[in-house]
Amino acid sequence: MTGNVAGASQKLAGVSCVVTGAARGIGQAIAARFAREGASVACLDVSEKRLEPTVTGLLGLGLQARGYVVDVAARDSLVQALDQIASDFGQPIGVLVNNAMWTRFQPLEEVDTETLERTFGVGLHALVWGLQAVVPQMKRRGGGSVINLGSTGAKRAVGCSLVYAALKAAVVGLTRAAAVELGPHGIRVNALVPGMISTPAALANFDEPTLAERSASVPLGRFGSADEIANAALFLASGESQYVQGAELVIDGGWSIAAR
């Protein structure tokens, strides 16, 4: 978690925000950025061990944050948590970031039931359950912002990524449909579409030669950072994006449009 609290512009002052998968990587960066911008941030993650230091770090900076240990694929647990967050913060949720992810990269012939069910449970079912829970809250407050995490992996496929690519394509389709349905209620629904981002989990998949090769394939010559994704999330969460609806904001350094 980085950044100067004193220098933040408070673009989310007084807003209750929820970030799933907030214990590390992109989710942690988004939660930290939102908190520095004045939001009350509910950090959701399935791992209490990883979540505790994230929340403690935010509180140590004098920011407003609470941790909730939740398996977002479990509908009842997620709905109860989102209701509890509104009660704890004393106001309806204004921003929901659907970032939590689980997948296993396998060749087609090795894809099993567990991979399918868990990947789509965390990455798609949870989006539906989360929307069902927060939309009534957002209607009460006169609007809100939902930010779903897609991936350029759905646009430019790589080997052993069949389930992951299918999931992320579905996330974009859900985003578009929800944007049309919820727009009349003042609820904006958009998708961030990151490319290769230098989170610890992502970097663990590459040795040094492969990392250099992948970086060279990006027109900007490098992997992106989690903070750069958080910057884009702040734009979609704040009032600066009031006329942005159903968008796919690609953040990949040009990788998905480069000649192969």
Give me the active site residues, please. Answer: 164
The first and second tokens of residue 190, run together, are: 């958009």
The first and second tokens of residue 254, run together, are: 């040009």
Alpha carbon distance 79, 67 (integer Å): 15
Tell the burial category of 6 from Cβ atoms under 10 Å away from its Cβ (0-12, 13-18, 19+).
exposed
CA torsion through residues 61, 68, 1, 250, sign: negative
Amino acid in position 246: G
Alpha helices (H) along the chain: 25-36, 48-60, 75-89, 113-120, 126-141, 162-182, 200-203, 208-216, 226-237
Contact 193, 249 (CB under 8 A): yes
Contact 26, 3 (CB under 8 A): no
The label of the residue with tokens 């980085």 reads 2
